Amino acid sequence: MNKVTVLGSLNVDTILRFKRFPKPGETLPLAGKSIAGGGKGANQAIAAARAGAQTTFIGKVGQDQEGDFMVKQLTDSGVDDQYVIHSDEAATGSAFILLDSSSENRILIDGGTNQQVTTDDVKAAQPAIEASDFLIAQFETPIAATIQGFELAHAAKRRTILNPAPATSAVPVDLLALTDLIVPNETETETLTGIHITDEHSMIKAAEKLQAQGIQTIIITVGSKGAFWMRDQDHGFVPAYKVHAVDTTAAGDTFIGALSSVLKTDFSNLAEAVRLANRASSLAVQQLGAQPSIPTKAEIQAAERA
């Protein structure tokens, strides 16, 4: 069983569903409204735990009902919450997900306590980092905290996985140097490299550019098409499973969490781990909501047998 620690965000998601996005100045009725647990970090941790990894979370929530709700989402999925801090500095993070009838989404985020995670908070979780096979982080918490976590992981010879989302071109070179595996989608890849992703040739060029910045293992996810991977000079493309998508909100997070649950620390099974992560992601997009849609190991295995 892999041991995974996730440093990241916890958000309460408000999902607003409608037929189409309104035009400027236009008012449209909602087709539905729901509340669910979210945040890229929490999604990835829950995906890892449900897929079978022993998972610990590092993060921060407010002293509010939303914070209690988010911690319960973690613990109900078997995630260790001992390094989740309850803070009175701000409210628990929140996100508003706009979802149209074609399953296209647009997301607005209020970071709240996610933006209050400090290097000291990460240092306090050093035992969990040192005991893990992988440390995963995103960009919904301060980059300084992520650098601290990755430094602790490398000092303990543990592997690091960076999901550079939300996309930013201002990624510190010292963070890239501490990253063992980077997992951007096509938009984030273009932001990082300046290369527009159109086909496998452009993916190879973008991955080579990331390798030139010190990251030897790259996975580029391209939604319903699948995922490209490169390890040193070896590379390949794993097609996605064809399903009817209802909500793609947590698809990428499910991919990363499931990947971490089966990936070997020497990355020798990278292609097979990507294939299984694609399977988990294909299950997640068939249900509404971020965390409610994340599949369990049993569900992934059942889909594999079907």
Furthest C-alpha separation in the chain: 55
- Residue 249 annotated as lining a ligand binding site: yes
Is 253 annotated to bind ligand? yes
Q: How far is CA 62 from the centre of its chain?
A: 21
Q: Is the distance from CB of 247 to CB of 99 less than 8 angstroms? A: yes
**Sheet harboring 80-87: ordered strands across?**
80-87, 54-62, 3-7, 134-137, 159-162, 181-182, 217-221, 226-231, 234-239
- Annotated ligand binding at 94? The verdict is no
User: Which phi and psi (to 5°) does residue 242 adopt?
Assistant: -85, 115
268 assigned ligand-binding residue: no
Is 225 assigned a ligand-binding role in the annotation?
yes
Does 226 appear as a known binding residue? Answer: yes
Is 6 labelled as part of a ligand binding site? no
Find out whether 40 is annotated in a ligand binding site. yes
> What is the distance between the alpha carbons of residues 196 and 184, in angstroms, rounded to a whole number?
13
CB atoms closer than 10 angstroms to residue 208 = 15
Separation of alpha carbons 158 and 130, rounded Å: 7
The question of whether 133 is a catalytic residue gets the answer no
Helix (H, G, I), strand (E, B) or coil at 119: helix
Consult the annotation and say whether 146 binds a ligand: no
Tell me which of 64, 80, 253, 266 is the catalytic residue: 253
Q: How far apart are CA 211 and CA 172, in angstroms?
A: 15
Tokens of 192: 């990082």
Is 105 annotated as a binding-site member? no
Does 148 carry a binding-site annotation? Answer: no
140 is in an annotated binding site: yes
120 marked as part of a ligand binding site: no
42 is in an annotated binding site: yes
Q: Cα separation of 263 and 234, whole Å?
A: 17
- The reply, when asked if residue 278 is annotated as ligand binding, is yes
CB within 8 Å of 240: residues ≥ 6 apart? 223, 224, 225, 226, 227, 278, 281, 282
Residues placed in the known binding site for K(+): 247, 249, 284, 287, 289, 293
The catalytic site residues sit at 253
Residues at the binding site are 11-13, 39-43, 140, 185, 221-226, 247, 249, 252-253, 278, 284, 287, 289, 293
Binding-site residues for ATP sit at 185, 221-226, 252-253, 278
Output the known binding site for substrate.
11-13, 39-43, 140, 253
